[in-house]
A = this chain, B = another copy of it.
Amino acid sequence: MPQRAVVPITAEGLKTACSQCNLQELCLPFGMSDGDIDQLDGLVGARRKVKRHQHLYRVGDTFEAIFAVRTGSFKTDVLLEDGREQVTGFQMSGEIIGLDGISTDAHTCNAVALEDSDVCIIPFANLETLSREVESLQHQFHKVMSREIVRVHGVMMLLGSMRAEERLAAFLINMSQRFTARGFSAAEFHLRMTREEIGSYLGLKLETVSRAFSRFQENGLIKVQQKHIRIVNIGGLKALLSHLPSV
C-alpha cells in the first residue's frame, strides 16, 4: 500500500475506516448517522504509530491535521523557558488531539505518547471541506472543540480553587469515568502517567501527589500499588469534592 507524501516516516499506510471502528461513540463520529460516517472514511488519511515518550507533534510544528487516539494514550504540555512544565491534558482512545494548532496554523503545545500508541490522522483542510457538506460532521466537530473548552474550565476551577486532595479526587473520578466509557473497570485501572505528570496537571509537586495517594489509602478510599489504582470507596472520593472537609 503506497505511502502518502504528507505522512511522515513513522506513519503507517494503513487506511482507516471510521465506519468499521469500535471507537465511534467516543470519537468524532459520535451521533452521526451510518451514512454520514461512511463519508468520514474518505477523510481520515492514515494511521500513525507513536512509541512511548515520542512526540506526536511539538510546539511550533506547522499545523496540518488533528489526530484521534486509536490505541494508547498521550499527554499534552506546554513548557516555560526555565523548564517548568504544565501538562494541559491526558488523552485516551477516541479523544481528539491537536485543536490548539488551528488558531495560528502552528502547534502551541507538545503531544507525547505515554505508551506505544496509534492515532488516526485527520487532515484539517479535508475536515473543513467535508464538514461544509456534512452537517452532522460540522456539528460534531464543533461539539468536540466546545467540550475541550468546557473541560479546561473545569481544570481551571480545580487549579484555582481546590486543595490538593480535592484535585486528586477529581482526577481519579475523571479517570474512572473515562475508563468506564471505554468498557474498562470503573474501580480498577492502570495509570499511564508518572506522579510528576499528574502533579504537573494538577498544579502540585510529585511528593504532594504521592502523599495524597497514601492518605486516600489510609482512609480506605483507594488501594494504590505504584501505577495500579483500585477505587474502594468511590462515594468517599466524591464526598471530598462536595464536602465540608471534616464530615
Bound together, the chains give a CA A108 to CA B147 distance in angstroms of 10
Interface 1/0s, chain A 109-123, versus B by CB < 8 A? 100000000000000
CB of A146, distance to nearest CB on chain B (Å): 4
Quick check: which of A17-25, A39-47, A75-83, A228-236 contacts chain B, the rest being far away? A75-83
Expressed in whole angstroms, the minimum distance between the Cβ of A193 and any Cβ of chain B is: 15
**Among B84, B99, B146, B159, contact of A103 (Cβ-Cβ < 8 Å):** B146
A153 pairs with B102, CB closer than 8 A = no
| Contact, CB under 8 Å: A202 / B160 | yes
- CA–CA, A114 and B224, complex, Å: 46
Give per-residue flags for A74-104: 1 if the beta carbon is below 8 A from chain B beta carbons, else 0: 0000101110111010000000000111111
Q: Is the CB of B132 within 8 A of A138?
A: yes
A6-39 CB contacts (< 8 Å) to partner B? none
Give every chain B residue within 8 A of A202 (Cβ-Cβ): 160
The dominant DSSP class at the A interface is helix
Whether A128 sits at the interface, judged by CB under 8 Å, is: yes
Find chain B residues with CB under 8 A from A160 CB: 86, 159, 200-203
**A33 → B minimal CB distance (Å):** 17
Question: Would you call A153 and B103 a contact (CB within 8 A)?
Answer: no
Chain A residues with a Cβ closer than 8 Å to the other chain, count = 48
Closest to A85 in B: B161
Q: Is the CB of A84 within 8 A of B161?
A: yes
Chain B hits for A138, CB < 8 A? 128, 131-132
- Beyond A132-B138, A160-B201, 18 additional pairs, beta carbon < 8 A: A80-B157, A80-B161, A81-B242, A82-B244, A84-B162, A86-B156, A86-B157, A99-B146, A100-B146, A101-B146, A103-B143, A103-B146, A103-B147, A145-B145, A148-B149, A159-B203, A160-B202, A161-B203
Q: Which A residues are closer than 8 A to B by beta carbons? A: 78, 80-82, 84-86, 88, 99-104, 108-109, 128, 131-133, 135, 138-139, 142-143, 145-150, 152-157, 159-162, 200-203, 242-244
- The 11 sampled A-B contact pairs (Cβ below 8 Å) are A80-B157, A80-B161, A88-B156, A100-B146, A102-B146, A103-B150, A128-B138, A145-B145, A152-B153, A155-B156, A156-B156
